[in-house]
Amino acid sequence: MKSFLNWAGKAFLAACFAFLVMTGFCVLYDNTPVHYPNSSGATDYTWAPHFLYTELTEGAGLGRTNNEGLMNPYDYSDGMEIDILVMGSSHMEAKQVAQSESVAGRLSALLSGKHVYNIGVSGHGFTTCCANFEAALRRYRPSEYVIIETSGLDFSAESLNAVLNGTVDEIPDHSTGLVGFLSKNPFLRLVYHQLSGFTGGGRKILEDEDEDDVPVNDGEESAFDRTLMDRVLCSLRESAAAYGTKILIFYHPTTQIDREGELLLPDDGAARAAFSDLCAKNDIIFLDMTERFQREYDENHLLAHGFFNSSVGNGHLNKYGHEMIADEIYKLIG
Amino acid sequence: MSFASIDFLIFFLAVLLGTALIQRVAGGRANQAFLLAASYFFYGYWDWRFCFLLLFVTAAAYVTARFSGKRLFFAAGVVIPLVVLGFFKYFNFFLSSFEALVGGDIRTLKIILPVGISFYTFQALSYVIDVKRGKISPERDFIKLALYISFFPQLVAGPIVKAKDFLPQLHEERKTTLKGIEYGVQLMVFGLFKKIVLADHLSVFVDDVFYAPAAYHWTTLILGAVSYSMQIYFDFSGYSDIAIGCAKCLGYDFMPNFNMPYISRNVTEFWRRWHISLSTWLREYLYIPLGGNRKGKTRQYINLFITMLLGGFWHGASWTFVFWGALNGLALCVDKLRRRDGESILGKASGVVLTYCFITFTWIFFRADSFETAWAVIRGIFTAQTGIVQNFMWTYVSVCLLVTASACAVARAHKRGLASTNGYYPVVSLNKVGGLTLFFTVCGLVIALAFTGESPFVYFQF
């Protein structure tokens, strides 16, 4: 018994040392901040403010959140003049690339002298962005454009109705309680993700992504109710008009490589055409990245998604994808 | 139930606890019965119906070996496992090959390949042949023989344990000891690191490249082939480490299955270091009975070639595996023709590099799902194809780790004045804070870095 207790003491001490070592390792390997509540409602949550984050599980990102816990190189202060506001999901959050390489970062460089503010946060698919649109305008009052990202054009009537009724599910924060305390340790947080991956049949690359943003292969018909979508876009337009700003929605399709090495794009021509028509009707600029992605692949063998440590062409936007999108946006608004 | 799953972790802990208790309370034979039940549970977890097949193969070996003095029984003992293997693994292959040859539309059967069939049928064969050769006496205790054939650590993907190596252990007083668990658990963690951290991450890139080779730049295709050479090594040697570690925890010893194969200076040496249990099985039960090197040089080359050809075919019912075996058979013959005296350091180093390049080239056929895919990879490389450039991080990590580990082993062998370099594991004492800290840290790394998507062991398909 005595020898067992002796060994248990050593094991406990060793576990503490190992925990410290692994925490240090995870600070460099995968250190994600915690969700904090956002009282402004511009996003469902924000990350911890002034947090130095690292990401090596997909791509390689190193950066610091600003005072609002958002991925911007500068702090935001009340009344600050914002020219362009970027809204979107984890693609716009762009934790996998350097902040200067994200769409917002590149637009800032291209539109020198203008303030581009990025409020892209994981899980904020198109419908969540629409739900938060009014609050975002109220908070930041962008003088020129609001840019909204979407990686899919497949929206259920239920999700569009939720936008119109103000009943879109909110993404919870988890900065308090035991979960909040434990998830502040990068090793424990990573272990939680890994174990979820093991028990759930694999870690999702685009975790928290809005289910509505899955591209559809419908071919013939648009993948949403046109009347409902028109009402959603109309409400966006009215909000934007009230704040004297314009809207740009860009769509970046997910791509695959087929067995012959050709780029496979979603067969969603009808959905894109319908969405484009509705945008035009509501004075919204619609940017479709499909052709640009195809051209970059055909001419330069470049893919917009995927990284040097993940599946080829799958996952989040990489630095080329961000560059292509920023370039096309610049052509439209620059 | 894969070794790299939480299900297996729970299962193994339960078996370890159970065996430790039974050994102390009820003794060896009850423990063997318990391990046998656990092994059948482990196998039945995939598909319980195949437990009957396993039982049938075992019963056939048990009966035929007891009367192996009679030619008919011995022939049955050899033929029955081969027929079982042939039916489940090769029937549709022969049928579709025949159809391709003569034309027509022959219906294939929907046959599910039972996991591990290639391994346990070979073990049953080795038992019958060893009895016939008089190396061991027929096993009277059915539980012992059944445990030998179905022992769960090696049941589904080896190592192929020979009867004369394992059955005697079942007649000894074997017990689960703290020393055995200390060594076995560390070996299992090393194996898990190789499998779920390195091999599984590599599989992502390898699958991409071999799915659409026409899409990639020639340098990426080379990197894809290198990645596969790393993946298959880490995958299979990782599996073997877990199997050997499991057995060690339960009180049994398996032979090592890999010994740093990529430092081999020629193909002959490679096959002494790669999948050792299969190589020695093929040598003892195929190459030597064919005549080995006892019937002249020409016959030796033919025997070598046939052995490797069949070895390739054993891996899978596809002509790409046969071709892979043929390439290795030819290389072994060429290697036998070479004079090898007084190689300089440069000669040895170039031998290692050339052998690695050749083996990696042959892996293209091993991995590709068809000759078209293999040819697309090779053509892309040799025509300097343009396409997607992907410098996959895990390939570089794996190569760095392998080179570092190999360099350490070579330096260690040199320091100790050993004639050949052998792989070893730096097993630490789990009774000291330093050793425990290192062990827990490696466990933490395995969890933190593990690939959590679907990626079965490569050798499960065989």
Q: Looking at residue B287, what is its pLDDT? A: 93
Coil, strand, or helix at residue A54? strand
Angle between helices B345-367 and B218-249 (to 10 degrees): 90
What pLDDT, on a 0 to 100 scale, did the predictor assign at position A291? 95
Q: Let me know whether B148 and B253 are in one domain.
A: no
Last residue of a domain, one of A205, A224, A251: A205
- Dist. CA A243–CA A137, nearest whole Å: 7
pLDDT of residue A212: 41
Q: Tell me if B134 is assigned to some domain.
A: yes
Do A112 and A13 reside in the same domain of the chain? no
Helix (H, G, I), strand (E, B) or coil at A251: strand
Choosing from A205, A227, A250, the residue where a domain stops is: A205
Q: Which residue does chain B place closest to A60, by CA atoms?
A: B393
Note whether A312 contacts B205, CB cutoff 8 Å: yes
Total number of domains constituting chain B: 2
* Co-location of A164 and A195 in the same domain: no
Nearest CA distance, B28 vs chain A (angstrom): 26
Decide if A140 is inside a domain. Answer: yes
Of B392, B445, B452, the CB nearest to A198: B452
What is the number of other CB atoms lying within 10 angstroms of the CB of residue A79? 6
Residues forming a β-bridge with B103: none
Which residue, among A28, A185, A303, A312, would best test binding to B if mutated, counting the most B CBs under 10 Å from its CB? A312
Boundary residue ending a domain (B176, B194, B220) = B176
Mind listing the pLDDT tens digit for each residue in B27-80? 888 999 999 999 999 999 888 888 999 999 999 999 999 887 888 989 999 999
B355/chain A closest Cα distance in angstroms: 28
Whether A305 contacts A321, CB under 8 Å: yes
Higher-confidence residue of B173 and A65: namely: A65
Asked if the structure places residue A237 within a domain, the reply is yes
Cβ contacts of B454 on chain A, cutoff 8 Å? 201-202
Same domain, A190 and A272: no
Q: A23 lies in a domain?
A: yes
Q: Do residue B454 and residue A201 have CB atoms under 8 angstroms apart?
A: yes
Assigned domain for B207 exists = yes
Mark whether B436 and B377 lie in a shared domain: yes
Q: Does residue A234 sit in the same domain as residue A254?
A: yes
* Cross-chain Cβ contact A194/B431 below 8 Å: no
ipTM > 0.90? no
Average pLDDT for B160-176: 90
Asked if residue A228 belongs to a domain, the reply is yes
| Count of beta carbons in the 10 Å neighbourhood of residue A201 | 11
- Provide the residue range defining the domain that includes B65: 6-176
- The reply to whether A23 and A117 lie within a common domain is no
Measure the CA–CA gap between A56 and A96, rounded to whole angstroms.
8
Q: Which of A11, A259, A308 sits opposite B212 (nearest CB)?
A: A259
Q: Kindly identify which residue of chain B lies nearest to residue A199, measuring between CA atoms.
A: B6
For residues A163 and A179, membership in a common domain is answered with no
- A-chain CB neighbours of B437 within 8 Å are 14, 17-18, 21
Containing structural domain, residue A275: 81-170+208-334
Position A196 confidence tier, pLDDT thresholds 50, 70, 90: confident
Q: Are residues B372 and B224 in the same domain?
A: yes
Which stretches of chain B sit within 8 Å of chain A by CB? 5-6, 201, 204-205, 207-208, 211-217, 386-394, 431-437, 439-441, 443-445, 447-450, 452-454
> Pick from B176, B191, B215: which residue ends a domain?
B176
Across the interface, whether the CB atoms of B387 and A301 are under 8 A apart is answered yes
| pLDDT surpasses 80 at A334 | no
A241 located within any domain: yes
Which residue numbers of B are catalytic? 315
Same domain, B36 and B154: yes
The CA distance from B23 to the nearest CA of chain A, in Å, is 21
How many A×B Cβ pairs under 8 Å? 109
Number of domains in chain A: 2
Reported as a single tens digit per residue, the pLDDT across B212-254 is: 999 999 999 999 999 999 999 999 999 999 999 999 999 999 9
For chain B, the average pLDDT equals: 90
Q: What percentage of chain A has pLDDT greater than the value 70?
A: 93
Q: Is residue B270 part of a domain?
A: no
What's the mean pLDDT in B177-201?
Answer: 94
* Residue A258 to residue B453, Cβ atoms within 8 A: no
% of chain B at pLDDT higher than 70: 96
> Which of B390, B444, B450 is facing A308, going by the closest CB pair?
B390
Q: Are B83 and B162 members of one domain? A: yes
Could you say which of B388, B437, B453 has the minimum Cβ distance to residue A312?
A: B388
Residue B249 token pair: 């925890």
List the single best residue of B388, B393, B430 to mutate versus A (max A Cβ within 10 A): B388
**Residue range B146-150: mean pLDDT, rounded:** 94
Inside any domain, residue A63? no
A7 and A148 in a common domain: no
| Residue B107 C-alpha from the chain's centroid | 33
Within this chain, do residues A176 and A153 fall inside the same structural domain, yes or no?
Answer: no
Residue B323 domain flag: no
Assigned token pair, A269: 């021509």
| pLDDT at site B91 | 77
Whether residue A25 is contained in a domain is answered as yes
pLDDT at position B17: 94
Residue A50 has pLDDT above 50, yes or no: yes
Q: What is the model's pLDDT at position A148? A: 96
Task: Establish if A270 touches chain B: CB-CB under 8 angstroms.
Answer: no
A299 and chain B in contact, CB less than 8 A: no
Q: Which of B182, B200, B452, B454 to mutate to test the interface with A (most CBs of A within 10 A)?
A: B452
**Same domain flag for B254 and B364:** yes
Which chain B residues are within 8 Å of A301, Cβ to Cβ? 215, 217, 386-389
Contact B392 A309 (CB under 8 A): yes
Same domain, B169 and B216: no
Is A38 domain-assigned?
no
Tell me whether residue B114 is exposed, middle or buried, using C-beta atoms within 10 angstroms of its C-beta: 0 to 12, 13 to 18, 19 or more: buried
Residue A312 maps to which CATH number? 3.40.50.1110
pLDDT at B194: 95
Query: Are B142 and B255 in a shared domain?
Result: no
Higher-pLDDT residue of B461 and A295 is A295
pLDDT at B462 (0 to 100): 56
Residue A52 pLDDT: 92
Over the stretch A255-303, which tens digit does the pLDDT of each residue have? Answer: 999 999 999 998 888 899 999 999 999 999 999 999 999 999 999 999 9
A140 and A240 part of one domain: yes
- Residues B115 and B243 placed together within one structural domain of the fold: no
Residue in chain B lying closest to A204 (CA): B453
Q: Are residues A20 and A107 in the same domain?
A: no
Do both B168 and B212 map to the same domain? Answer: no
Alpha carbon distance B189, B176 (integer Å)? 18
Q: Write the secondary structure of B351-403 as one string of H (helix), E (strand) and C (coil).
A: HHHHHHHHHHHHHHHHHCCCHHHHHHHHHHHHCCCCCECCCCHHHHHHHHHHH
> What is the reported pLDDT for A206?
39
DSSP at A312: T
Same domain, A284 and A223: yes
Cis amide prior to B159 (ω within 30 degrees): yes
Task: For residue A145, name the pLDDT band (cuts at 50, 70, 90).
Answer: very high
* pLDDT tier, A208 (very low <50, low <70, confident <90, very high otherwise): very low
Are B201 and B257 part of one and the same domain?
yes
Distance from CA of A209 to the nearest CA of B (A): 18
| DSSP-assigned letters across all residues of A194-218 | HHHHHHTTS--TTTT--GGG-----
Which residues lie closer than 8 Å to A158 by C-beta, 6 or more apart? none
The last residue of a domain, from among A190, A205, A220: A205
Residue A219's pLDDT is: 47
* Six-digit token string for B445: 């790394």
Q: Do B16 and B70 share a structural domain?
A: yes
pLDDT tens column, B67-123 = 878 889 899 999 999 998 888 887 777 777 777 777 766 666 677 778 788 889 999
Q: Which residue in chain B is spatially nearest to A23 when comparing CA positions? A: B444
Count Cα atoms within 13 angstroms, Cβ side, for B344: 3
Residue B283 has pLDDT above 50, yes or no: yes
Please tell me the predicted confidence (pLDDT) of residue B212: 96
For the segment B384-406, the average pLDDT, to the nearest whole number, is 95
CB contact under 8 A, A194 and B208: no
Determine how many CB atoms are found less than 10 A away from the CB of residue B135: 13
In chain A, positions 141-200, which contact chain B (CB-CB < 8 Å)?
187, 190-191, 194-195, 197-199
Return the residue of A nearest to B196 by Cα: A198
A176 and A293: one domain?
A: no
Joined together, the tokens standing for residue B116 give 């591990």
- Which of B149, B176, B203 terminates a domain? The answer is B176
DSSP 3-state assignment of B439? helix
Total length of chain A: 334
